[in-house]
Amino acid sequence: MKRFVWLTLLCDLMLFAGVFAQQDSAAYRAATTISDPLQKINALQDFLKQYPDSKLRTRAFDGLFDLHVERGNEQEALEAADNSLRTLTPENRMSPYNRFAYNLAKNNIGLDSALLYIDRAIEMAGTSRNLSGYQDTKAYVLYRLGRFVEAEELQRIAIKGHEDDYEYLSNLALYENANGKVQDGLQTMAKALYFGADQESKQHFLEWIDKAEKDQAKRHALKQTVFMSAVRSLTDTLKGSALISARSNAATVMADLGVDLNTARQWSENAVKSLNKKSPVNDVVQFRQSLALVLCAQGAYKDALAHLQSIESLVDPYESRCWLTLGKTHEQLGNRRPAIIAYMNGLIARNDKTLRSALETVYTKEYGSLDGIEKELDSLRQSSASVEPGHYGKPSTPNGKVVLAELFTGAECGPCASSDLAFDALTEYYPRTVLAILEYHVHIPGPDPMTIDESWDRYSWYAGQGTPTVVIDGRESIIGGGPKTVTRNRFGVYQFAIKKFEAEKPRARLSLSVTREGDDIAATIGVAGTNSTGRVGKSVVHVALVERSVDYTGANGISRHAFVVRRMMDDASGTIVSPQQKEASFNKRVNVAEVEQRIKEYLDNPSAQRSWTYRRPFTGWRARPEILDRSNLAIVAWVQDVESKEVLQAAYQDVPAIVGTH
């Protein structure tokens, strides 16, 4: 009886803890959704008073720090930073030290504290890969403190290995200019602009040009000389497609600066002419956008519009410059309503001040007021957040090409929401005899309970650069997503890439049969013809157990996850197919109970797994999706060239219903 009482009490305590955690999380979310800064500060302070032991207190202090920094409240910002750091164990403070130091320097407050913070981060970093980033931050703090010589010296150390990173270059240019090295600063900033530096860097560049030359004609000549000299230094050693891409990129900046437009047009036209049916979607968008920008700079608006409209459905929603150019081009041609739509499309993912101003101006001209603008924007966002994929409708052949679409995502990743939903639409549109789908979960930006080591290994093998990342047939990588409002855009981009490969003949023959007895699943894979092209390479067979649908709601609000990779047989390395073998057969087995056990061990101690890259202390899961739905499993197999990463062929089979005893 006593045992029953204690068990009941324990259950009550666990239930209370769960309810408390829910209240805790709800209160934090309510505070963070407040738009007014002062009200948000008060709400976060009230949250910390009400839940002093909350696992979310670090985030609350971080939020207070950001709010106080933005408002210039130095003492309050430093207090919030120190409180945040106290919630962390000493070994987990390195990255926060850097963040606090940079934001203080960016807002030019608390510089002495910023220097202390970044010195601690550098001391902790030792010789790790983070060191250069922390040195970059310290150089910026020194610059803000007026210690220009020290800033430049440190930045020259930090930039090693980052010579094509515009942020490192922009900062170095600032320090060179501050030390009176005007020409060096101009040349370095020109390189930063070439590599994609922002408008603030462009403004610095133009201001330095103005100071260097008072005569307008000489200013233009200097601007052209400096930038073209930088372009030549960066492209003279390039050849082939690399040179075409580099010159297209340079042409974009040349159009923006208004320098050597004839050369810019020639380069951008050559880039467009180089496009073919197999060109990556990123090249299609970049090359045509670059040419359109040059044409606009020359006043050829009709020609520019044709190129912009050809990529309108493929343009990244965050590519503000493209949407702004499209809108301005329509306005130049007297098309107000299409201009309004263009500006609105550039605002569905985020609020860009320049686009918003352009929209309000043309909207007022068209309708006399701004009445109805918000309703129209909301309607566009809602329609862009969903896809009616329709049906594939084409006959599939038994030995036809099966394209492999791989999505690297995270349940805590906000920008992954649109990609996840777009992949759901792809699963509806394409049959598995045409498109095989895999979704790998990784810890970006926070812990994900559906992560497995093989997912991280696969992400690393593709040299992942963030989530979401989509890889189509191993040949085309598409990085970036956004909120749910850009789902339709992401679906269109992924479908554009898939269509290029679906009509191909498979580069290998691949057969897959799957049997099951209880929890034991057996897959037999036959491979032939991997060297049919005469190319010498090394092919590998991969086999993955996937769960067709997993219910779990993370920070991005996605509650259903499709084709989640739960286990890769032979890990992520796969099984080598000998080049000497004309035909090969492989038998792979997996036990569902063993997979579940591995998942449980991971969920109990995620930081012990090699996939763990999250540097803050683990604070628990929102839920534990550890039990596999045994009626909802499938096997995906594919053969892939190790050198080129091309997927030669893929295959998909549902795991049959349970036969025999468990």
pLDDT in tens, 476-503: 999 999 999 999 999 999 999 999 999 8
Among 140-144, 194-198, 211-215, 581-585, the least confident range? 581-585
Residues 459 and 543: their CA atoms lie apart, in Å, by 16
Whether residue 4 has pLDDT greater than 70:
no
Residue bearing the bigger pLDDT, 529 or 165: 165
Q: Do 647 and 473 form a contact (C-beta atoms < 8 A)?
A: yes
Segment 644-654 mean pLDDT? 96
**If you count DSSP H runs as helices and E runs as strands, how many of each does the chain have, helices first?**
24, 12
Q: Tokens at residue 9, please?
A: 């009490």
1 pLDDT band (50/70/90 cuts)?
Answer: very low
Segment 100-104 mean pLDDT? 97
Residues 154 and 149: their CA atoms lie apart, in Å, by 9
Residues pairing with 306 in the sheet? none
Q: Tokens at residue 588, please?
A: 């792979």
Residue 276: how many CB atoms within 10 A of its CB? Answer: 9
Right CATH number for 403-654 from 3.90.1150.110, 3.60.21.10, 3.40.50.970, 2.60.40.10?
2.60.40.10
% of the chain exceeding 90 in pLDDT:
83
Which of the 8 DSSP states describes residue 537?
Answer: -
Q: What angle do CA 607, 409, 127 make, to 5 degrees?
A: 50
pLDDT per residue over 42-62, tens digit each? Answer: 999 999 999 998 988 999 999
Q: pTM (2 decimals)?
A: 0.85
Q: Tokens at residue 109, please?
A: 């407050």
Q: Provide the mean pLDDT of the chain.
A: 92
Residue bearing the bigger pLDDT, 25 or 2: 25
Whether residue 353 has pLDDT greater than 60:
yes
Q: Do 370 and 336 form a contact (C-beta atoms < 8 A)?
A: no
pLDDT per residue over 208-219, tens digit each? Answer: 999 999 899 999
Helix axes 148-158, 166-178, angle to 10 degrees: 150
Whether residue 507 has pLDDT greater than 70:
yes
Write down the H helix ranges in 503-589: none
